[in-house]
Structure formats: C-alpha cells, structure tokens
Amino acid sequence: MTTVTTPRQRPAALLLTPAAEARIAALMAKAPEGTVGVKLSTPRRGCSGLAYSVDYVAEAKPLDEKIETPGGTFFVDGASVLYLIGSTMDWVEDDFTAGFVFTNPNAKGTCGCGESFMV
C-alpha cells in the first residue's frame, strides 16, 4: 500500500491588516525603479536588542518569506521569521504620528521608547 502525502500550506509568518496592505500599495506606487517589493527585517539595534525595519528591496533573497498583497509583494527577512511568527503588522495614523505598529507574541519586552524589542 502506498501512502500519498500532500504538504499543507504553511501559514504566513506575519499577518497584515488591511491598513498595512494599503500602506504597502502606497509605498509600491511611489517606489524607486527596480524595486520588487517591501521587506520587513529585525536588525540588532536599540536598547532591547532587535528593531523593526521596513525597506524597499531590489531583489528577493531565497530564504525570505514572500507574501503577495493586492498592492505588491511584501517580504519578511529569512533570518527574522522566527522572531515574527504569529505577529500582526498594522499601519496607524493619527494627528501626531504615522507608522507601522507590530503586535508580536514572541516579544518578551520592549525598551521604554518602544523602538526595540527582545525575544
């Protein structure tokens, strides 16, 4: 007897809210020539050790997580995926600030200014 297994689709490392998807679309609409998407990474910086960084990218790396959105391709840095699994990325604007906001269940703490986090 032969058993056939089909791999199940892996859940995205990160959930994007409709507001975050709209912001990605706005960024891609004015992206520099040669841009293939927007990428989230977690470089080491700040008081707590890791920070969120969103940048344009000109090429996809093989280990990056790729998320297709209505406004363009969003990448999650392959080295950052483990820090972000289960997170939600939102775009929030008010009278004084505008920016991406992350709800990360893996974060064990943040610095006082909110610029960095630790896992």
Q: Residue 44 carries which DSSP code?
A: B
pTM for the full model? Answer: 0.81
Q: Is the pLDDT reported for residue 95 higher than 70? A: yes
If pLDDT is split at 50, 70 and 90, which confidence band does 1 have? low
Q: What is the CATH number of domain 15-103?
A: 2.60.300.12
Quick: pLDDT tens for 37-93. 999 998 887 666 788 889 999 998 999 999 888 888 999 999 888 888 889 999 999
What share of the chain has pLDDT > 70, as a percent? 87
In order of 6, 12, 13, 39, 60, the CA distances from 9 in angstroms are 9, 9, 12, 22, 21
